[in-house]
Amino acid sequence: MKIHYISEKNSVLNHFLGQIRNVDVQNDSMRFRRNIERIGEIMAYELSKILPYKDVEIQTPLGIKKTTQIETDLVLCPILRAGLPLHNGFLNYFDHAENSFVSACRYHPNNDDEFEILVEYQAISNLNNKTVLLLDPMLATGQSIVAVHKKLMENATPTEFHIVVVIAAPEGIAHLEENLPENCHLWVASLDEKLNEKNYIVPGLGDAGDLAYGSKL
């Protein structure tokens, strides 16, 4: 799996990453969503650099201009619900893309720290011969992304598959490397230290879905 670390060089991306982590800033849910959206825009720009392009000619009011445009068909697929602000950022840049939606959550059958991943709601477009971008802010254990990837690939053969996360733990990256095809791309805005005993990212930022949309039952 090809891994792209975006925040290794200083940019405004690190400014927004700092704000979504800061407990004095992140409690403003509208600002939190907007900052995730901004991060999505930056990551969309970086990802766009390796997409295939084709030469085209554009008619202007005064003549013809030769340029390039994205050649592949894109499908954006956020994992609900936390992936929605990140999806908005990508959609701002890839406004021509198709969209699919999948929900995935941790289920604790014994009300303890052990959990399994439930993949439930699905609204998936035709992914064949297209470039799929799977969007989720947090890569903790990696189990949700592997489960969703398996579901998306049941009846599809995309040309390329990209996974985009804002914050990742090393354990989650290792799980993806063990369970996903080598031709997948992983885009990481920030790599954190580890998972804690409850499998939450440290230092992380908390629960991205709750910060964006409020606490769940």
pTM, to two decimals: 0.93
Give the distance, in angstroms, between the CA of residue 111 and the centroid of all CA atoms in the same chain. Answer: 28
pLDDT, one tens digit per residue, over 101-157 is 999 877 766 766 677 788 888 899 999 999 999 999 999 999 999 999 999 999 899
DSSP for 15-40, please give it: HHHHHHH-TTTTT-HHHHHHHHHHHH
Residue 40's nearest CA partner among 10, 6, 65 is 6
- Secondary element (H or E) of residue 64: strand 63-70
What pLDDT is stored for residue 112 in this prediction? Answer: 64
Burial 15-32 (b: 16+ CB within 10 A, else e): ebbebbbeeeebeeeeeb
- Per DSSP, the chain holds a count of helices (H) and strands (E) of 6, 13
Residues 6+ apart with CB under 8 A from 110: none
pLDDT at 215: 87
The whole-number pLDDT of residue 24 equals: 93
What parts of the chain have a pLDDT lower than 50? none
Beta-carbon contacts of 60 under 8 Å, excluding residues fewer than 6 positions away, are none
Asked whether 105 and 117 are in contact (CB, 8 A), the reply is yes
Let me know: does 71 contact 54? Beta carbons within 8 Å: yes
Cβ neighbors of 158 (< 8 A, separation 6 or more) are 75, 127, 128, 129, 130, 131, 132
Between the alpha carbon of residue 189 and those of residues 13, 59, 130, 142, 216, the distances in Å are 8, 37, 24, 16, 26
